[in-house]
Structure 1
Amino acid sequence: MIDPAYVSAMARYNAWQNENLYGAAASLSDEARRQDRGAFFGSIHGTFCHLLWADRMWLSRFTGTPKPSVPGSESSRMIEAWEELAAERQVTDVLIGDWAAGLSPEWLAEDLTWVSGISRRELTKPKAQLVMHFFNHQTHHRGQAHAMLTAAGVKPGDTDLMLVDLRG
């Protein structure tokens, strides 16, 4: 299905795109970042908060790191200050890269059992599928953030996966 090289490449892509979008968002006022733009999590800030929340939740399941301190229903308000959000994003991207660099094919071949807050029940799924979900979720919400940034008059850099060297 997937292998550790794929996971490491996607971790690098994730960090590259977060740097791209956060850089574009930094050129906006705080008011513009928090403006409700009709996305699922409302604003650029809210979408970035949700993404950070979800990445930390999945990392807690994958590695045992601490879970986010707020429930999923409050993920879009997890961190109020822009500077703190941007700094925590960078820290989390390093954690994702370190986790990816240490993966083995054996780990990816196993199942993971966890209690889902969304479905409110215990689930068991293949780790490889969950890792694909992890990166797909990031891409989905970054696409929303990209659209909101563009609507706000900011032009983020390229997002095409083929444009970055993912070999490490």
Structure 2
Amino acid sequence: MLSPEFVLTMARYNAWQNRQMKSVLEAMPDAARRAERGAFFGSIFATVNHLLWADMVWMSRFAGWPRPEVGISGSVEITPTLGAWSAERFRLDSRLILWGEGLRAVELSGDLRWYSGATGREQVRPLGLCVAHMFNHQAHHRGQIHAMATAAGAEGWVSDLAFMPGEGPWL
């Protein structure tokens, strides 16, 4: 289903998106980042925290990385400040790229079995589908963050994969 090359491209895309998002968030007042905005996780800051948490959870399943000490309800508070979030996000994005660089096709085959706190039961799904889900989940929540940030008066960022710098034979 997925190739290692696609996974690496998506890991790089994720890091590019998070760098752009970080710049926008740094320009916003903290109160604006923490204001209730009616999104699933409430605020911009709660949503970026949840996204960091979810990436950590998925990578604990895919590659044995440390799992967060909190469940989904605590995901919105995994870091206390934008600075702490930024440092953790940078570390995680760097590790995701390194993981993608070292992947082999065989490592994306087979099934993934895990206990889902969200469903309250064991799940079994194709590993490639779960990796694709992680990247889709990132894009989904970054889209929410983009909408909340622009609604709050911040400038948005370029999110088009086709315009990611440094990728592909067309550059």
Q: TM-score range by the shorter chain?
A: over 0.9
* Whole-Å separation in 2 of the counterparts to 1:27 and 1:130: 34
* Whole-Å separation in 2 of the counterparts to 1:44 and 1:13: 20
- Determine whether 1:72 maps to 2:42: no
**What amino acid maps onto 2:64 in structure 1?**
G
Where does 1:123-142 land on structure 2 (aligned, <5 Å)?
A: 123-142=123-142
- Do the aligned partners of 1:9 and 1:167 also contact (CA within 8 Å) in 2? no
* Whole-Å separation in 2 of the counterparts to 1:131 and 1:6: 11
Q: Secondary structure at the match of 1:75?
A: helix
- Determine whether 1:166 maps to 2:167: yes
Structure 2 match to 1:104: 104
- Do the aligned partners of 1:25 and 1:33 also contact (CA within 8 Å) in 2? yes
Q: Number of aligned residue pairs: give it.
A: 168
Structure 1 match to 2:144: 144
1:104 Cα offset (Å): 1.0
**What amino acid maps onto 1:95 in structure 2?**
R
1:87 Cα offset (Å): 0.8
- Do the aligned partners of 1:37 and 1:148 also contact (CA within 8 Å) in 2? yes
1:157 Cα offset (Å): 2.1
Which consecutive segments of 4 or more residues in structure 1 shift more than 2 A? 165-168
- Fraction of identical pairs, as percent: 46
1:79 Cα offset (Å): 1.1
**What amino acid maps onto 2:167 in structure 1?**
L
Q: Secondary structure at the match of 2:122?
A: strand
**What amino acid maps onto 2:124 in structure 1?**
T
Once the two structures are superposed, what CA deviation does each residue of 1:133-152 show, in whole Å capped at 9, x if it has no partner? 00000000000000011011
1:35 Cα offset (Å): 0.4
- Determine whether 1:16 maps to 2:31: no
* Whole-Å separation in 2 of the counterparts to 1:64 and 1:97: 16
- Using structure 1 for the length normalisation, give the TM-score: 0.96
Once the two structures are superposed, what CA deviation does each residue of 1:89-135 show, in whole Å capped at 9, x if it has no partner? 11110111111111111111121111111112111111100011000
- Determine whether 1:92 maps to 2:92: yes
1:70 Cα offset (Å): 1.1
- Do the aligned partners of 1:49 and 1:85 also contact (CA within 8 Å) in 2? yes
**Unmatched 5+ residue regions in structure 1?**
none
Q: Give the CA RMSD over aligned residues.
A: 1.2
Q: Secondary structure at the match of 2:162?
A: helix
